[in-house]
Amino acid sequence: MKHSKKCGDSESIAYSNFDMIEVNDSTYLDKADQTQGIRAGGRRSRLAAVCLGLLCVLLLITIIVICVRSVREKEAMDQTISSLSENCTAERETLLSSITTLTEERDQLKNSYKDLSEEKDQLKKSNKDLTEERDQLTKSNKDLSEERDQLTKSNKDLSEERDQLTKSNKDLSEERDQLKISNKDLTEERDQLKNSNKDLTEERDQLKNSNKDLTEERDQLKNSNKDLTEERDQLKNSNKDLTEERDQLKNSNKDLTEERDQLKNSNKDLTEERDQLKNSNKNLTEERDQLKNSNKDLTEERDQLKNSNKDLTEERDQLKNSNKNLTEERDQLKNSNKNLTEERDQLKNSCQNLIEQKKKDQQKNPIHILNDLASWKKFGSSHYYISTEAKTWDKARQNCRERGADLVIINSREEQEFIKRENKYVWIGLTDAEEEGVWKWVDGSPLTTRFWNTGEPNNYAKGEDCAVFKDGTSTLQTWNDLPCCYENLWICEATLPSS
């Protein structure tokens, strides 16, 4: 076996067992030389081995000491590290859980914001539809009004036409009445003429009778004459007288006959006159009948106009009713629209409240408050910030919140005195916007310590719901109520969380 290694323990170990080992298979050394050499070499190597052993022990001890020290140091360090890591883990867990909570809350708010936006869009759409519907209704209402106006106009024209017809009818009636009167007069005249005619006829008949009587008398006289002629024959003288008498009678008879003829003529004239009157009477009657007919036609026409007028009036009333119904329907739609708008506003408010709540939660995180802390003044346990620009009460409050604070709440005389020393005209966190006359601080707490200026709050002009801290007053009574839309400087108060 051949050994080629030259250093270390392996060498000494190899030599210690040398005598039992064959060097070479073919070569054998002299035994004495060999033993002497081996002894001297064995002493040296033992010394070296002892030295080496001692060195090893020293090394071991050193290593052990170092190990023990390092183990102790490591333990101490481990302890420190584990306590540190424990703290860190707890802190990280708290932060992680608060991050998770805030993330969840943010997601919920995002969702609710998204839902509300959708709802708002739907409401906007429905509002738009309702507006369109209302416009259409307004248009139809306008058309109906125009139609009604046209009907009113035509009705007015018809009324005028009817009035003209009534007037012409009245004129015709008057004319007819005049004709009636003249007809009556003519009839009377005709009757008088008839009467006179009748009288004349009677007179004529009497004359005829008297003529007849006279004729009979004459015949009797003729007879008596004859008798007398016979008697004349007997009495010639008396005959002659009688003859003369007879001649006289003849003459008178002739006169009477002439008179009768004249009467006959006058009777004939009167008959002609009567016939003429009868004709004129007949003509007048015909004319009157024609007038009566035309009057009847006009009356019918007027009645027809009256009927059409009545129909138009009914139609107009129906249109008025439908218009009224449409107006009512529109008002109902307006109301429902108003209710929807109110509902949307309430939803908006609740969304705003959620955002505010989130901000409040954020305020609890001291990082926000510490921002800009250099421009804040400390008093008691609070810090105060007075703005350099003017805003409305709402915007001022919003600005305070963005700074991780809110408008100042004054709850002690000392705090009031502190703010008075600043001598600024500023909004404070006091309002009665929710309920008139019920003043509340921005944290919802009621008013206990009051510093109202004399005569305040007076809700001047019925519109003062926000409180302002006046400057330059001689007393500590500095508050006044003002309209919230006024723009003023403001004062924020931040209370650092006690830790």
Q: What does the binding site for ligand MMA look like in residue numbers (CB under 6 A)? A: 456, 458, 460, 464, 480-482
Q: How far is the CB of 468 from Ca ion (least distance, A)?
A: 9
Query: Closer CB to Ca ion, residue 222 or residue 440?
Result: 440
Between β-strands 426-431 and 489-495, what pairing exists: parallel, antiparallel or unpaired?
A: parallel
Taking the CB of residue 177, how many other CB atoms lie within 10 A of it? 10
Are 364 and 497 in contact by the 8 Å Cβ rule? The answer is: yes
| Residue of minimal Cβ distance to ligand MMA | 460
Q: Which of 408, 395, 414 is nearest to 468 (CA)?
A: 408
Using CA atoms, how far apart are residues 50 and 43, in angstroms rounded to an integer?
10
Query: Closer CB to ligand MMA, residue 376 or residue 393?
Result: 393
Pair of tokens at residue 455: 């005569």
Q: Which stretch binds Ca ion (CB under 5 A): 59-67, 183-191, 297-305, 463-471?
A: 463-471
Using CA atoms, how far apart are residues 29 and 37, in angstroms rounded to an integer?
11
Instruction: Give the single-character DSSP code of 30.
Output: -
Using CA atoms, how far apart are residues 300 and 285, in angstroms rounded to an integer?
22
Among 460, 463, 471, 485, the residue binding Ca ion under the rule CB under 5 A is 460
Query: Closer CB to Ca ion, residue 295 or residue 453?
Result: 453
**Which of ligand MMA, Ca ion, none sits in contact with 465, Cβ below 5 to 8 A by type?**
none
Contact status: 458 vs Ca ion (CB under 5 A): yes
Q: How far is the CB of 481 from ligand MMA (least distance, A)?
A: 6
Buried b (16+ CB within 10 A) or exposed e, 14-52: ebeeeeeeeeeeeeeeeeeeeeeeeeeebeebeeebeee
Among 481, 484, 492, 494, the residue binding Ca ion under the rule CB under 5 A is 481
Are 479 and 467 in contact by the 8 Å Cβ rule? The answer is: yes
Show the beta-strand stretches assigned E in 229-380.
Answer: 377-379
Query: Closer CB to ligand MMA, residue 472 or residue 497?
Result: 472
Q: How far is the CB of 461 from ligand MMA (least distance, A)?
A: 8
Contact status: 28 vs Ca ion (CB under 5 A): no
Bridge partners, 407 (sequence order): 492
Q: How far is the CB of 447 from ligand MMA (least distance, A)?
A: 17
| Residue of minimal Cβ distance to Ca ion | 481
Taking the CB of residue 79, how many other CB atoms lie within 10 A of it? 10
Contact status: 432 vs Ca ion (CB under 5 A): no
**Which of ligand MMA, Ca ion, none sits in contact with 18, Cβ below 5 to 8 A by type?**
none
The structure tokens 């250093």 sit at: 7
**Which of ligand MMA, Ca ion, none sits in contact with 415, Cβ below 5 to 8 A by type?**
none
Query: How many residues comprise the chain?
Result: 499
Which of positions 106-135 make contact with Ca ion (CB under 5 A)? none
Q: How far is the CB of 431 from ligand MMA (least distance, A)?
A: 14
Taking the CB of residue 492, how many other CB atoms lie within 10 A of it? 26
Pair of tokens at residue 293: 């007919």
Q: Which stretch binds Ca ion (CB under 5 A): 104-112, 192-200, 421-429, 450-458?
A: 450-458
Query: Closer CB to ligand MMA, residue 42 or residue 483?
Result: 483
Q: How far is the CB of 464 from Ca ion (least distance, A)?
A: 5
Which parts of this chain interact with Ca ion (CB under 5 A)?
458, 460, 464, 480-481
